[in-house]
Structure 1
Amino acid sequence: MPVTTLLRRVLNRSNTEPNLADAYLTPQPSATPALELIPEESPAADGDNAPNALATTFDNIDEAPPILPEFSDSASLDGEGKVEMGEETTSEKDAIEDLTNLETEMEHAAEEQGQGQTVAQDRLPRNAGFMRSFSNVVCIIIGTGCLQIPYAFAKTGWIGIIIVVLSAFIGGYTGVLTIRCLYYRSGERLHSFPQIGYAAFGRWGQYATQFFNYLYSLGTTCLYIILSGQFIYQLVSTLGVTVTQKVWMIIVTIIIWIPVAILKEMSEAAIMAIFGLLASVIVIIIASVMAITNPYTEMFPAEAAPAHDIAIGIGVPVALSSIVFSYSGSVVYPHVEASMKKPKQWPNVVYTAMGFCAVCYLLIGVAGYWAYGDAVVSPVLDSIPTGAPATISKIMITIHVMIAAPIMLLSFYLEVEKMWDITPERLGKKREFTVRLVYRSVVVGIVCAISLAIPYFSDFLGLISSIACVTMYAILPIVCYLKLYGHRIARWYEKIWMAFVLIVGCVASIWGSVDSIKNLIRDTKG
């Protein structure tokens, strides 16, 4: 294209279209609402500015405008095919390159201003609405843990109702703190829990959070495989099928591996999450109705009625770890929030999800404990009468587990891929897909091997929840938050609440771990 034509096109465009450079220099209202939970200023290392740290939004960030080259309207073409701009003369090739860079910079500036994002913020596709984000969180939270709630009530008595409600408040609070920690540095967003640990405590903090993070993600997937294999074995054994439970666990692993190999981002799992959510709700309703209509006294009229206690203090720490597992999902929170179209809605999403789960847990917990008392077993579906409702429940929870397991693994994979920089830009599309497929398959194989070696659902759930879930759920978010922002960021009553949560978390983690290890050793020895 002749340079005169190119110049004329740019000059004419500047007379007919809005000046993008001026738009970039002039403050504009942000197209993206401010994230209310983002701190105002990144506190200094010594925490001096910590008290004002929670008021900042993305809208107040000013970037220095790019230096744009100026072009004279009197540019003319000389006889040698060169463009004169004032006193300088450039070649046609240089002029075209300068004009192209100009347009690119102007378009980039307008794009940055229109999106209202900081330059350092993640370039992830934010296309998930409130319901999709809510479904992702609930699908991870609610699931196999609900089958343990009546058994937890048998350990604590009716005081378990208070523990369920209290755990929901703790989960919502620490969920908000987790996302605040991602934005502790002004203009930048961290990606995951391990990065929060590194920002707070350096390399050892990263190692610690990675350990608990990965133990939770992979351990929960093991639980899903164990439970699915157990239910499928129970269902098909009545039909005369002689396939063992461990073979069914391997088959379940293969089914889980398929979406793991296909899905790449968390937003792609939204449809799976919605189906998993519906399956869990159906199971809770069926199990609750069956327990109420078929209590222990009617199923076994010749036996003594089971006991019901108001409070059993010695069982509270162990039961608390199981109930906390029913609310755990913090490792997925950074990825869910990263896919949200309106990230300022995150507090509403997490509190709504916790409230919804609390209602479901109270329904199945109260119904199961009222019907079977201290005779209830885990999972509670083994306590209700056999028949069509029990069969439907086991089928539905198996479907949910097969759906939730890939989402749980996906949170682990996304962090590893981010850490190892497994991207098409660096490796190319074909090589990136190959590397991603191979290492994801290896991880699934390791998870399956662990599940086959420890096929004890209740004991394994207690161990994972005590060591990993309680730590990720109640301890690390508060500790990292205080380290990043300083203790003066919280008012006195919030400090009391934090101290209470930390004490409860430590007691539940230590006591629950010891009890779970004892039970696991006993069951392993037969």
Structure 2
Amino acid sequence: IPYAFAKTGWIGILIVVVSAFIGGYTGILTIRCLYYRGTENRLHSFPQIGRAAFGRWGQYATQFFNYLYSLGTTCLYIILSGQFIYQLVSTLGVTVTQKVWMVIVAVIIWLPVAVLKEMGEAAIMAIFGLLASIVVIVVATVMSLARPYTAMYPNLPPPEHDVAIGIGVPVALSSIVFSYSGSVVYPHVEASMRRPKQWPLVISASMMFCAACYLLIGVTGYWAYGDQVVSPVLDSIPTGAPATVAKIMITAHVIIAAPIMLLSFYLEVEKQWNITAERLGKKREFTVRLVYRSVVVAVVCGISLAIPYFSDFLSLISSIACVTMYAILPVVCYLKLYGHRIAPWYEKIWMGFVLVVGAVASIWGSIDAIKNLIKDAQG
């Protein structure tokens, strides 16, 4: 988030707030789409929403973005975890390379997805991930306030701060959107809730909490390091015990979050392929599930090893998949399923704004991210 502020200037505060409202709104629309045929005929996934709205090709398009988001995000988690573990252990004299650590992380991620079958079974992992995130935010915020750039490098010119940097808004918007995106897991989370009717309250509270956390770390990080901040922000704060603790916690959070992201992908594929104990028997169902889940983790790990540029890959995945799943598809599918007459005029204006924001962030952000990836690959 602080790096996104460096791309946009202080206007990033407004982007964080607006993105939270968009995320809450489209999250509610997504679940409404699941029930467009009534509570007795609830749809089960985003691809089913796409099929109901636009037929077979709508399903294929939705599946593409859905799977790209799930698998691409897991790639990002493997890259980030490998990077942090390498930084932590290299100071101890361990000579294992970052790519080897990425493979080890992939194996760790594979263990729970090989055992866990349903999203509800991963709830305890999500709680630990939340606690780890809170620790990281507190550490990064305190260290940014205690040791800003001017205190770390008193002999260097102070970092610059801008009110608004227009050219950086689209790519930064895509990165901020990534921080809010969870569209692919919403259908599974809502299905596992004891009181599904409380979903609007749950998603709204979640977005408000996320916005507060992002503003806290974004404002303090950008204030402390300005245009010199790097992504991730933990590489900007001074080295030492607090930074080490934060990197350990964020690594734990990422390793915990990756199986949850993969589970949403697995559950949809298993439902589509009818991989069930009723059809295959318990032993055969477990074997088939274990084999194909293992293959998916291996493929994701291979992609992570081939593209180890965290910030650029984050921007690309965010621009192509996250923005589409987060802003564009929920609105388009909702209008197709329910018709434009169901929404009052002011909501239609809001929908148009959401679509414009999504389109600009996706197209412009993708172009910028691809250019940066090519530049990094060429050295």
What is the letter of the counterpart of residue 328 of structure 1? S
Residue 300 of structure 1: aligned partner: 153
Aligned to 2:12: 160
Match of 2:321 in 1: 468
Q: Is it true that 1:231 corresponds to 2:84 in the alignment?
A: yes
Q: Deviations over 1:145-171 (max 9, x none)?
A: xxxx00000111111000000000000
Quick one: which of 260, 281, 284 aligns to 1:407? 260
Please tell me the residue identity of whatever aligns with 1:252.
Answer: V
> Residue 129 of structure 2 aligns with which residue?
276
Name the residue aligned to 1:491.
344
Indicate the residue corresponding to 2:244 in structure 1.
391
Which of 6, 22, 25 is matched with 1:173 structurally?
Answer: 25
Q: How does 1:476-487 map to 2 (within 5 A)?
A: 476-487=329-340
1:257-303 CA-to-partner distances (Å, cap 9, x unmatched) read 00000000000001110000000010011001100100101100000
Residue 42 of structure 1 is matched in structure 2 by none
Q: Does 1:326 align with 2:176?
A: no
1:312 to 162, 165, 185: 165
Distance in 1 of aligned mates of 2:172 and 2:243: 25
Deviation at 1:467, TM superposition (A): 0.2
Q: 1:455 aligns with which of 290, 299, 308?
A: 308
2:212 partner amino acid? V
For 2:56, the equivalent position in structure 1 comes to 203
**Which has the higher relative contact order, 1 or 2, with Cα contacts under 8 A spaced 6 or more apart?**
2
Give, in whole Å, the separation in 1 of the partners of 2:364 and 2:138.
32
Give the aligned partner of residue 352 of structure 1.
Answer: 205
Out of 489, 492, 512, the residue aligned to residue 365 of structure 2 is 512
Residues 66-96 of structure 1: per-residue CA shift (max 9 Å, x gap): xxxxxxxxxxxxxxxxxxxxxxxxxxxxxxx
> For the residues of structure 2 that align with 1:151 and 1:255, how far apart are their CA atoms?
29
| Structure-2 separation of matches of 1:315 and 1:251 | 35
Aligned residues: 378
Unaligned runs of 5+ in 1: 1-148
Structure 1 CA distance for aligned equivalents of residues 42 and 82 of structure 2: 40
Does residue 381 (structure 1) correspond to residue 234 (structure 2)? The answer is: yes
Deviation at 1:374, TM superposition (A): 0.5
1:218 is aligned to 2:44: no
Quick check: which has more Rg, 1 or 2? 1
Identity of aligned residues (%): 84
Q: Residue 317 of structure 1: SS of its match in structure 2?
A: helix
State the alpha-carbon separation in 2 of the partners of residues 422 and 348 from structure 1.
Answer: 33
Q: Secondary structure at the match of 1:158?
A: coil
Deviations 1:178-199 (A, max 9, x none): 0000000123100000000000
Q: Distance in 2 between matches of 1:404 and 1:152?
A: 22
The residue number in structure 2 matching 1:430 is 283
Render the CA deviation track for 1:12-47: whole Å, top value 9, x for unaligned: xxxxxxxxxxxxxxxxxxxxxxxxxxxxxxxxxxxx
How high is the TM-score relative to the length of structure 1? 0.72
Alignment-derived partner of residue 191 in structure 1: 44
Q: Shift of residue 436 of structure 1?
A: 0.3
SS of structure 1 residue aligned to 2:137: helix
The match for 1:364 is: 217
Distance in 2 of aligned mates of 1:470 and 1:226: 21
Matches of 2:230 and 2:194, distance apart in 1: 42
The answer to whether residue 284 in structure 2 is matched with residue 440 in structure 1 is no
Q: Deviations over 1:456-515 (max 9, x none)?
A: 000000000000000000000000000000000100000000000000100000000000
Q: Return 5+ residue gaps in structure 2 as ranges.
A: none
Partner SS for 1:185: coil
| Distance in 2 separating the partners of 1:490 and 1:234 | 51
1:314 positional shift: 1.0
* Cα distance in 2, alignment partners of residues 184 and 379 from structure 1: 40
Partner Cα separation in structure 2 for residue 176 and residue 236 of structure 1: 43
Amino acid aligned to 2:96: V
Q: Whole-Å Cα distance in 2 between the matches of residues 282 and 167 of structure 1?
A: 23
Which contiguous aligned blocks of 4+ residues in structure 1 show a shift greater than 2 angstroms? none
| Equivalent AA in structure 2 for residue 163 of structure 1 | I
Q: Secondary structure at the match of 2:164?
A: coil
CA distance in 2, matches of 1:402, 1:160: 28
Which one has a larger percent helix, Structure 1 or Structure 2?
2
Q: State the alpha-carbon separation in 2 of the partners of residues 497 and 238 from structure 1.
A: 51
Q: For the residues of structure 2 that align with 1:166 and 1:522, how far apart are their CA atoms? A: 31
In structure 1, the partner of 2:96 is 243
In the alignment, the residues of structure 2 paired with residue 244 and residue 154 of structure 1 have an alpha-carbon distance, to the nearest angstrom, of 30
Question: What is the match of residue 260 of structure 1?
Answer: 113
Tell me the amino acid that sits aligned with residue 171 of structure 1.
Answer: G
Q: Deviations over 1:37-70 (max 9, x none)?
A: xxxxxxxxxxxxxxxxxxxxxxxxxxxxxxxxxx
| SS of structure 1 residue aligned to 2:336 | helix
Aligned-residue RMSD, C-alpha: 0.4
Give SS of 1:307's match. Answer: coil
Looking at structure 2, the residues matched to 316 and 273 of structure 1 have their Cα atoms a distance apart, in angstroms, of 31
Structure 1 residue identity aligned to 2:287: T
Structure 2 counterpart of 1:298, one-letter code: A
CA distance in 2, matches of 1:229, 1:165: 31
Map 1:91-110 → 2, pairs under 5 A: none
Corresponding residue SS for 1:505: helix
Q: State the alpha-carbon separation in 2 of the partners of residues 298 and 407 from structure 1.
A: 40
2: CA distance between counterparts of 1:314 and 1:405?
32
Q: Which moved more, 1:441-450 or 1:306-315?
A: 306-315
